[in-house]
Structure formats: structure tokens, C-alpha cells
Chains A and B, each alone.
Chain A
Amino acid sequence: MAISANVEYRLNYVIDAVVQPSMTAVIELLLWLALFQGAAGGTIGGFTLPYYLSYALWGAFFARIASSWMYEFRMIEEIESGSVNGLLVRPFSFYEYYFSQLMGYKFITTFVSFLIPLGATLLLDWPAQMDRLPLATLLVFYYLILVHSISFLVSCCAFFWNRIHSFTVAKNLAFWILTGELVPLDLMPEPYRGWVINLPFASGVYVPVAYLTGRAEVSMVWNGFLSVTVGLIAVNAAGALLWKKGLRSYVGTGA
């Protein structure tokens, strides 16, 4: 249902799955090209320009998959407007309903949008080890469960406060830095470098892309799975608590 609902508006879908990440990638590629013109020695952080171009290209597409704006806004809206009532009486939970929607959407987006970096990498011969792509993608989808759990936690705040959309924006902007979408996290100075790489958010972009492009080894991916698992336990525990508390204080206002 989620897949067909999203493919229904084809222009929107193409912009979201193809145009947006492609443009982000182009801007990042231009930045790295300019950066290397001023860099002495032809390497930055031990890697040459093609490694960064490959990172920028794949990073833009992984970042697109690893973020949730639209569904989080909808979840908040459901609770704020009271239309969550309609979901409460159904034989599945609010969490599960939106989880299936998000995963369906991300599945179809990934399938189409990955064709672009895949084609570009093969055409331009940039560093990317394709045999690593399945594990990298698996990590991002595992990370998506955490993303959804955080969305659930944020939306539960709507039981207690009005107009919490700013939380979503602030959170996603923070993830912008923490996932490694802006710059590879290994370029950060110590001790921040160690901290951010070990946080679960690095599994959204940095870890899978670094693994795919040869900046990191498989041990970092396993570490990513572990840190996301820890994050999942913590966030879901907080989410379940907040949901229960929220429902207790909730007075249905909608249909």
C-alpha cells in the first residue's frame, strides 16, 4: 500500500528519489573538487580525490534513505489533530502502522535511486566495492528502524506539547552532522572523531559509505550494528514509556 501510494504521484516521487539526492551529490562533488585544488599533497586525511567524490556521491543517496521527514510530520499531525483515534481502534499499533509505511516507501526509493550512484561509479571508475553494497544497505535499513523509533518518540511528545514540528527539524539538522552526510566523520578532530563514529547515527551514512568506498573495514560495520542495537533498546524503552503516559493523559479530540 505504501509503495503504490507513493508511486501514484510520479513527479513527486521522481523528485524525491532521483532529483533531490542527485543535486545534493553534484553540490558536494563540486565542493570536494574545489577543496582538492587548495589541498597540498593530493590527499586529505590519507585519501585521494576519487575517494571523496565516491563518498560524496554515495553519501547523498544513503542520507536520503536514512532520514524521515514526511512520516514523522504525519505522526505528529495524527496525535496533534486527534485523528490518531482512528488508528487506536485498529488491530495494529500506531508504531507498526507507520513503520510499514516508512519501510515500504524507503524500499521503493532505494531501488530506484541507487541506480544513479551505481551507474556513475561504474562509468567513472570511482572507488566502490560493489560486493560490499548489500551489507552496507542492510546496515542502513537496520538504522532506519532506529530512525523510526526516534520519530515515534518525538511524535509521543505531541501528547504533552503543541506544535512540536520544530523538534523534527532540529533533530534532523543534528543528524545532518552526526551521520556524516556533510563531511566524512574521520576528518573530524579527536576526541570528537571517536565519539561520533561510535554513536549509532554514524550507521546512517558514514559507516556504510566508508565501508562501501574502502575507507573502513567490516569490523566498523559490525560495530555499527551493535551501536544501533543499543540505541534501539534505549529509544524504544523511552518511546514505550512516553506512549503509555501520553495515552493516559490524552483526551481524544478528533474523529
Chain B
Amino acid sequence: MIRKYLGLYAAFFRASLIADLEYRVNFITRIVTDIFWYVAQIVTFEVLYRHTDVIGHWTLPQTRVFLGILFVIDAIYMVLFHDNLERFSDRVRKGELDLLLAKPVNSQFMVSLQRASTAILGNFALGLGWLIFSLSRLPDFSWERLLWLLILIPCGVTILYCCRFFFTSVAVIFTRAENLQFLWYQLYKFGMRPDSIYAPWLKFFLLTMLPVAMIASVPARALLDPPEPWLFLWAAVLAVFLLWVSHRFWNWCLKQYSSASS
């Protein structure tokens, strides 16, 4: 079963790469576009730290590491899921969802992974470069701590995917829900800032109910703060739980679906 899906994904990836290389200017502009996003995040904190030594309880070198983690996780998510979830609302409206549902594979898999954004691999390399640069600027950093990322980055990507997928799935019920999708980006902004800046009650909320703080803040904490094994265990449990809930939610949404095609 797993081999079947891996083979299928490899075929999707190849097809996406060929399609992306067809429009070369677009390939490059997609990388450049994300560089603007990286620059915006970096400039914000670089400017703010000119006027203060700590934000939350992190210094500038530590916040740079946080940004590096955010860039890496966001890039992985973008490569794997972004294009699929972004155009999902349109596909429902045009009746293309019916075609996906008729295929003999898991529909959530098809909806989420059919198209890979291969251009973003360039951004992944840039994000990784920034992370390595920022880690090298940390005094006394013990590099074996990076092993935590083997668990926490996949958890962060999974949590990000599941949260986004909940918003995407709603398009099956409300056909015109573009602004609900934009709402997701506003909520995601909470995860783009270190969770240490939030009040304890809000931090708790962002680590449990709306777990966007689990995406980058928790992996960054694994590198920067004393290890918190319970929190890391929670990240793993939450990732698995959200994946299960997202699947249940998807099936529930499909039960409400009335075909849009003729």
C-alpha cells in the first residue's frame, strides 16, 4: 500500500517538474516571490532589534534561528501541498472534484498531493542556508540538538498541512469561501512570530486549540531553550491526531457534497 502511494507521488512529482520547467520565467519568479517574503520577515526583526535587545525572551541571533526554522518548514509545506490546497476551491466550483473522487486512490491524498511546486525547492535551499547561517552565529550551540528536528520538522509540516486542510475542505460545503481561505493566512501569522511574545493564555491556545505555534516555535525552542520532552511529545501526538481528524473531517465534508458538474 505505502509503496503504491510512494510510486504514485513520484509520478506526480515528475509530472509537476516537467510542467514547471515549461514556464521558465514563472519558475524563477516563484522563487523570487518567496525571497520577498523572507526579506520582509527578516527586515521586520532586524529593524525592531535595533531598538531593543530581547523580544519575548529571545535575542536577535535566536530570532534568526526561529525565522530559519519557519522558512524551512514553510518551504516544505509549499513544495508538497500549497498549490493543491490553494486551487481546491476553484476545482470544486468547476466540478473537477468529481473526477478526483472517481479515482481508485484515497481522495484526500489526491486533493492534497497531486501537484508539487518544484520551483519552491530553490526556496527550501535558501531557507536551509539561512538556518545554517543563523545557527553558526549562535555562541555555544551544540549541533547534536539538530537531531530534534528530525521529529519536530515533520510534525510542524503535518500540523501546518492539517490546519490549512480544515480551511480548504470547507470549500466543499460553501462553494464561495475565498475570504475564508484568506482568514487562514491571518491565523497563520500568529505562527510566524515566536510564541514567547504572547501572553500565557494565548500561548496555551496557540499550542493546543489553534496549534500554529507548534509549527515553528516549538522546533526553534528545541534548538534554543533547554529541552522540553513533554512539549516535543505533544507535537508528535498532535500531528498524528490532527491527521486523523483531518481525514474524518474530509469524509464528513464529502457527505455534504453535492456535485458541481453537470
In the bound complex, CA of A169 to CA of B86 (Å)? 14
In whole Å, how far is A196's beta carbon from the nearest beta carbon of chain B?
A: 11
Selected contact of A35 from candidates B32, B55, B182, CB within 8 Å:
B55
B residues less than 8 Å from A161 (CB atoms): 25
Inter-chain contact B36/A170, CB cutoff 8 Å: yes
Instruction: Give Cα A189–Cα B180 distance, bound, in whole angstroms.
Output: 38
Say whether A9 faces chain B, with CB atoms less than 8 Å apart: yes
Of the listed stretches B38-46, B127-135, B228-236, chain A binds: B38-46
Interfacial residues of chain B within 30-62, with CB under 8 A of chain A in the complex? 30, 32-33, 36-37, 39-40, 43-44, 47-48, 50-56
Asked if B261 is at the interface (CB within 8 A of a chain A CB), the reply is no
Q: Does the CB pair B39–A177 fall under 8 Å?
A: yes
In contact, B26 and A166 (Cβ under 8 angstroms): yes
Closest residue on chain B to residue A162 by CB atoms: B23
Q: A11-B179, A34-B56, A170-B29 are in contact. Are A23 and B186 (CB under 8 A)?
A: yes
- Against B, the Cβ 8 Å flags (1 = close, 0 = not) of A162-193 are 11101101100110110000110001110000
Partner of A170, one of B32, B43, B193, B202: B32
Known contacts A20-B183, A161-B25: A187-B51 contact under CB 8 Å: yes
Q: How large is the interface on B (under 10, 10 to 19, 20 to 34, 35 or more residues)?
A: 35 or more
A46 to B180, CA, bound (A): 39
23 pairs, CB–CB < 8 Å, chain A vs chain B? A11-B177, A15-B182, A19-B183, A20-B183, A20-B186, A27-B186, A30-B193, A30-B197, A33-B197, A38-B52, A38-B54, A164-B29, A166-B26, A166-B29, A169-B36, A170-B29, A173-B37, A176-B40, A177-B39, A177-B43, A182-B40, A183-B44, A187-B51
A-side residues, CB < 8 A to B, are 9, 11-13, 15-16, 19-20, 23-24, 27, 30-31, 33-36, 38-40, 44-45, 161-164, 166-167, 169-170, 173-174, 176-177, 182-183, 187-189
A-binding residues in B (CB < 8 A): 23, 25-26, 29-30, 32-33, 36-37, 39-40, 43-44, 47-48, 50-56, 174, 176-180, 182-183, 186-187, 189-190, 193, 196-199, 202
